[in-house]
Amino acid sequence: MKRILSVGAFVATTALLVAGPASAQSVTTTKIGVLEVQRVVAESAVGKESLARVQKVQGQKQEDLAKRQNELRDLEKKIQDQSKSLSEEALDKLQKDYQAKALEFKRSQDDAQRELEELQRKELGELEKKVMPVIDAVAREHGYQLVFNKFQSGLLFADTTTDLTDAVITKFNSQIAAAPKADAKPPAKPAPAAPPKKN
């Protein structure tokens, strides 16, 4: 989404440079709006579903990592408690087990982080595909030629009247609510009326 909006900024700047100085009579006003993308993600129905999927996977990963971390702590405690009573060979084996588990834990952490980042990219990509036509429609309805991502475009000030976030969320949610569900069954056709009985 940031990429798309930054292209818009580039196009607008290029257009102004190409046009050059113009007379007051030929100058047209460009209506510029802003959008809080994070609010669209957090408050729209589709955004909430996306976040819920990411959070579910995140919770599963955290649970697995916590289990592995507890196993490491238990093994570390066992080494400390039995270091004086175990033979050198047995102690060496425990320490190697600990090192192997610690390395496996670190790899699991890295893998979990990569998987979550990939899932977030995928979810945001799908959300962007769905919301961009809505942003386009809302901007056209309100007469905006340019819409910027409010907090990722270097913006320092924007009047609240230029903020399209609420309008986009409302339209986005209403379109999703009105869309037929993929798993919804079509309404059953009424049975044909029985022909009248002949006397």
The whole-number pLDDT of residue 190 equals: 56
Residue with tokens 């100058």: 27
Q: Are 48 and 42 in contact (CB under 8 A)?
A: yes
The whole-number pLDDT of residue 44 equals: 95
The whole-number pLDDT of residue 193 equals: 57
Q: Would you place residue 18 in the very low, low, confident or very high pLDDT band (cuts 50, 70, 90)?
A: very low
The whole-number pLDDT of residue 85 equals: 86
The whole-number pLDDT of residue 15 equals: 41
The whole-number pLDDT of residue 181 equals: 61
Q: pLDDT over 90 for what percent of the chain?
A: 58
- Assess whether pLDDT exceeds 60 at residue 1: no
The whole-number pLDDT of residue 24 equals: 47
The whole-number pLDDT of residue 189 equals: 58
Convert the pLDDT of each residue in 85-123 to its tens digit. Answer: 888 898 899 899 999 999 999 999 999 999 999 999 999
Residue 196 one-letter amino acid: P
The whole-number pLDDT of residue 12 equals: 41
Q: Are 147 and 8 in contact (CB under 8 A)?
A: yes
Convert the pLDDT of each residue in 140-197 to its tens digit. Answer: 999 999 999 988 778 878 888 999 999 999 999 998 877 766 555 555 555 555 555 5
The whole-number pLDDT of residue 19 equals: 45
